[in-house]
């Protein structure tokens, strides 16, 4: 117990977090961090308490992406920390600034089989760019300052702070705590923030490559979204007239409806471009490694990335290391001095625009028909139209996961504003859904959040519907219920044999599961829909109510397959 005029480690952590700008935390309380959470709340930090550290970690990582500030989540020791690794690893894979703070066992009992004992510093190693343990209360403010700094510095990522139980229960006088906080604040402002300047010759070369290209393309990813580079991208695209292609989560940096959007002509754009400026996106599986047959073997890549390591890995024709927004500002300035613009009758621009129109018409043909029982297309079109009907800004944040649901949603749903799409991301992580919804509604309180989830994806974090109700978050979760992973039981009779032939197929769930009743169980609104009219009415009511809702959309169990680009792997 802290004596009069003293505070303990829990209070000092909370004070440090508040002083260094943390406004929201996610997590699961328990031994030894319960008091830390309540102290944080009393200091003005909003603490969103989850059922599972996995979802809390996913929420923190998405919050980091959406706000460009560290997303912080709290776990208990041992198993809590292990569950939290899901969030940390997802943060690392997506390069999102995230800090996991975990309690750990008493230092003096370490190695003796203490309650929930684990070498947590070792456990987080593969998923963190920085980790630190406070071994004495006096180290707390500095540790908090450092971990928050490292999460956002350079290439963002996952960081970890370990707080042993004995340290949380140590005491210091109020005045000593104040001096420790002042000292940490001083060190914090001293920490050197990199301000990399790109060599002028490289900027000139990049512009000259674009100027001389016959078929240039601008590709941007969630690194550009994180950098809030939308204004600079718009300027680059609109002054040069070069078509652009966003990666899935970068959709909306420029509106999908922009005349130079090449998304609907993706194969042509990447297959035939001769110079591609890739901004804040890795040439990984999502971009086919930048290799043939999807890309031309002669394409010249200009990569813009905050990470030098990334540029070294990909060995592009030209690499520009730096913050996307800053590099684009310099590029735009260079272009302004000697402007060029392709114009809409340029053969490359015309080819892309025509192909995009043709493909869009084809898709609209498929979307136009009302198919009942629902396939994936019909309800997705209805959802798209309902979102568009909301009109105006701020647009809702769309969260999406699942195989078919995410694939179809990516093509059909229209994004018009930056950072309004969250999906399974670089790692193809399933189970992010509800955590991302909660993060989005906390980070952007004026936006509605609409989750478009496969039934399998939803199942990973479904219990967090209670969290939505508890905090009354404006989140509408739409579950595409086709009765399983990819769909229901589709085995041919000759495939059903062996001693466990009575068991359902590994891909199938209980048919016609009542997911909407989970939401009703906690006092939220549930809808079961199977026709276009029922879906339209549920969307209209739930979007205007802006209250937690689950819409259970019954889909034909025979609709759906593995994602096109991954089919060969399964
Ligand atoms: P996507 O999934 O959209 O293709 P990736 O996650 O593969 O995007 O790539 C994002 C890239 O953006 C990472 O390589 C990361 O280093 C980079 N990045 C992160 N922040 C910035 C920034 N501020 N400026 C430029 N690049 C950034």
Q: How far is the CA of 324 from the centre of ligand 1 (A)?
A: 9
Atom of ligand 1 nearest to the CA of 326: 24
pLDDT-above-70 percentage for the chain: 97
Mean pLDDT of 380-408: 94
The domains of the chain, with CATH numbers, are 6-190 (3.40.50.970), 200-354 (3.40.50.1220), 368-569 (3.40.50.970)
Q: How far is the CA of 250 from the centre of ligand 1 (A)?
A: 10
Mean pLDDT of 398-403: 94
For the stretch 251-264, what's the b/e string if a residue is b when 16 or more beta carbons lie within 10 angstroms of its beta carbon?
A: bbbbbeebebbbbb
Q: How far is the CA of 479 from the centre of ligand 1 (A)?
A: 30
> Which residue's CA is the closest to the ligand 1 atom numbered 14?
282
Return the beta strands (E) in 45-184 as ranges.
Answer: 46-49, 71-75, 98-104, 130-133, 158-164, 171-173
| Predicted local distance difference test score (pLDDT) of residue 454 | 95
How far out from the chain centre does Cα 199 lie? 32
Q: Which of 100-109, 282-291, 361-370, 481-490 shows the lowest per-residue confidence on average (mean pLDDT)? A: 481-490
Between 5 and 23, name the one with better pLDDT: 23
> Which residue's CA is the closest to the ligand 1 atom numbered 2?
426
Nearest alpha-carbon partner for 413 in 368, 377, 446, 441: 377
Could you report the per-residue pLDDT of 511-535, keeping only the tens digit for each?
A: 999 999 999 999 999 999 999 999 9
What is the CB < 6 Å shell around ligand 1? 94-95, 155-156, 221-223, 226-227, 247, 249-250, 280-282, 284, 286, 305-307, 310, 323-324, 426
CB of 167 closer than 8 Å to CB of 135? yes
> Which residue's CA is the closest to the ligand 1 atom numbered 6?
94
Enumerate the H helices of 74-139 as residue ranges: 79-94, 120-124
Cβ neighbors of 371 (< 8 A, separation 6 or more) are 377, 378
Could you report the per-residue pLDDT of 401-420, keeping only the tens digit for each?
A: 998 899 999 999 999 999 99
Atom of ligand 1 nearest to the CA of 284: 7
What distance in Å separates the CA atoms of residue 484 and residue 498, rounded to the nearest whole number?
22
Task: Match 């229209």 to its residue by tokens.
Answer: 414
Intra-chain end-to-end CA distance of the chain, in Å = 57
Task: Match 């032939």 to its residue by tokens.
Answer: 501
Atom of ligand 1 nearest to the CA of 305: 26
Q: How far is the CA of 10 from the centre of ligand 1 (A)?
A: 35
What distance in Å separates the CA atoms of residue 47 and residue 477, rounded to the nearest whole number?
22
CB of 421 closer than 8 Å to CB of 398? yes
| Predicted local distance difference test score (pLDDT) of residue 486 | 79
Instruction: Identify the band that residue 221 occupies on the pLDDT scale cut at 50, 70 and 90.
Output: very high
Mean pLDDT of 82-106: 98
Is the whole-model pTM more than 0.85?
Answer: yes
Q: Which of 46-50, 363-367, 522-526 shows the lowest per-residue confidence on average (mean pLDDT)? A: 363-367
């Amino acid at each position: 117990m802290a004596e009069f005029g003293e505070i303990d480690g829990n209070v000092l952590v909370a004070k440090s977090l508040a002083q260094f700008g943390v406004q929201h935390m996610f997590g699961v309380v328990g031994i030894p961090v319960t008091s830390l959470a309540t102290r944080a709340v009393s200091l003005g930090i909003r603490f969103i308490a989850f059922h599972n550290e996995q979802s809390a970690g996913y929420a923190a990582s998405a919050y980091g992406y959406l706000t460009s500030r560290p997303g912080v989540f709290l776990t208990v020791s041992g198993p809590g920390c292990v569950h939290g690794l899901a969030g940390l690893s997802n943060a690392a894979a997506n390069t999102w600034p995230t800090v996991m703070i975990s309690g750990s066992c008493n230092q003096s009992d370490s190695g003796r089989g203490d309650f929930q004992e684990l070498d947590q510093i070792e456990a987080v190693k593969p998923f963190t760019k920085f980790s630190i343990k406070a071994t004495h209360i006096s180290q707390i403010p500095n540790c908090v300052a450092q971990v928050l700094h490292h999460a956002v510095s350079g290439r963002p990522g996952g960081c970890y702070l370990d707080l042993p139980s004995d340290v949380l229960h140590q005491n210091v006088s109020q005045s000593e705590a104040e001096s420790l906080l002042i000292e940490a604040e001083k060190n914090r402002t001293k920490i050197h923030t990199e301000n990399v300047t790109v060599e002028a010759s490289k900027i000139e070369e990049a512009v000259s490559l674009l100027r001389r290209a016959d078929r240039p393309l601008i590709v941007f990813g969630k690194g550009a979204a994180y950098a809030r580079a939308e204004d600079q991208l718009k300027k680059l695209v609109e002054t040069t007239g070069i078509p652009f292609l966003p990666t899935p989560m970068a959709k909306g940096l420029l509106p999908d409806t922009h005349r130079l959007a090449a998304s609907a002509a993706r194969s042509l754009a990447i297959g035939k471009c001769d110079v591609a400026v890739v901004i804040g996106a890795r040439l990984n599986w999502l971009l086919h490694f930048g290799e043939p047959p999807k890309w031309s073997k002669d394409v010249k890549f200009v990569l813009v990335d905050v990470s030098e390591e990334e540029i070294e890995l990909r060995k592009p024709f030209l690499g520009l290391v730096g913050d996307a927004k800053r590099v684009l500002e310099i590029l735009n300035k260079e272009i302004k001095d000697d402007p060029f613009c392709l114009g809409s009758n340029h053969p490359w621009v015309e080819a892309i625009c025509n192909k995009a129109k043709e493909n869009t018409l084809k898709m609209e043909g498929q979307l136009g028909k009302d198919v009942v029982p629902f396939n994936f297309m019909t309800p997705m079109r209805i959802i798209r139209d309902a979102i568009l009907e909301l009109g105006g800004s701020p647009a809702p944040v769309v969260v999406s996961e699942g195989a078919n649901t995410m694939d179809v949603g990516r093509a059909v749903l229209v994004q018009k504003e930056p950072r309004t799409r969250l999906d399974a991301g670089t790692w193809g992580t399933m189970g992010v859904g509800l955590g991302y919804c909660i993060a989005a509604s906390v980070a952007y309180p004026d936006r509605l959040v609409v989750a478009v989830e496969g039934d399998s994806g939803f199942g990973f974090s479904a219990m967090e519907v209670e969290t939505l109700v508890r905090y009354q978050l404006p989140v509408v979760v739409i579950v595409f219920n086709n009765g399983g992973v990819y769909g229901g039981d589709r085995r041919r009779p000759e495939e059903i044999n062996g001693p466990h032939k009575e068991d359902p197929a590994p891909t199938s769930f209980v048919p016609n599961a009542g997911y909407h009743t989970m939401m009703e169980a906690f006092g939220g609104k549930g809808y079961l829909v199977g026709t276009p009219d029922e879906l339209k009415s549920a969307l209209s009511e739930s979007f205007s109510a802006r209250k937690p809702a689950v819409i259970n959309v019954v889909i034909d169990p025979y609709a759906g397959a593995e994602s096109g680009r991954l089919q060969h792997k399964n």
